[in-house]
Amino acid sequence: MMVLRLMVILAVTGAALCAGADGPFSHRKHAPLKLKCTFCHTGAEKQERALFPTVAQCKTCHPTMLERRIPSARVYKVKDFVMFSHARHIAAKAECRDCHGDVFGMERVVPARATTMIACVDCHKERHATQQCNACHELGQ
């Protein structure tokens, strides 16, 4: 399925093979491909971390792309004393856009929702999720 989909994408967008792809990564430029977020962020639905794609993955479409550091910078990051799991939120029917906004509309990813305690707790109140300290923090261990 994945391979077939990729072949279709490549056939339609052969131009990508020639175009220089060494500028900054833009979600918006990739939006017409209608890729799933998990095509690149393979952990986002089933694992704690969403993860980032490797340069090798980019090279399936941009074979001549130079090495680069991915990500170039981090946008969302909680401190080590906070427990956060993507899988847990996707299972509870939260969607990427609830926390990250319309990413495919963005040239560069900008924060759509803060990762402060208040921002987390606000949504937990709204959706009747837990507000207990030890759900998000390991206490006294």
B/e letters for 70-97, b = 16+ CB within 10 Å, e = fewer, are eeeeeeeeeeeeeeeebeebbeeeeebe
Binding residues among 69-88 for ligand HEC as defined by CB under 6 A: 70-79, 82-84, 86, 88
Residue among 79 and 141 whose Cβ is closer to ligand HEC? 79
Q: Quick check: 64 binds ligand HEC (CB under 6 A)?
A: no
The mark string for 101-120 relative to ligand HEC (x by CB under 6 A, - otherwise) is --xx----x---x-xxx--x
Q: Tell me how many residues contact ligand HEC (CB under 6 A).
A: 74
Site string for ligand HEC, 5-24 (x = CB under 6 A): ----x---x-xx--xxx-x-
- Does residue 46 interact with ligand HEC by CB under 6 A? no
Residues 40/52, Cβ–Cβ less than 8 Å = yes
| From 3, 40, 42, 64, residue interacting with ligand HEC (rule: CB under 6 A) | 40
Token look-up 């994408």 returns 9
Asked if residue 26 lies in contact with residue 108, where contact means CB atoms within 8 angstroms, the answer is yes
- Pick between residue 64 and residue 75 the one whose CB is nearest to ligand HEC: 75
Distances (CA, A) of 122 to 92, 107, 117, 131: 16, 28, 8, 9
- In the complex, least distance from residue 12 CB atom to ligand HEC, rounded to whole angstroms: 8
Give the residue carrying structure tokens 């550091």: 69
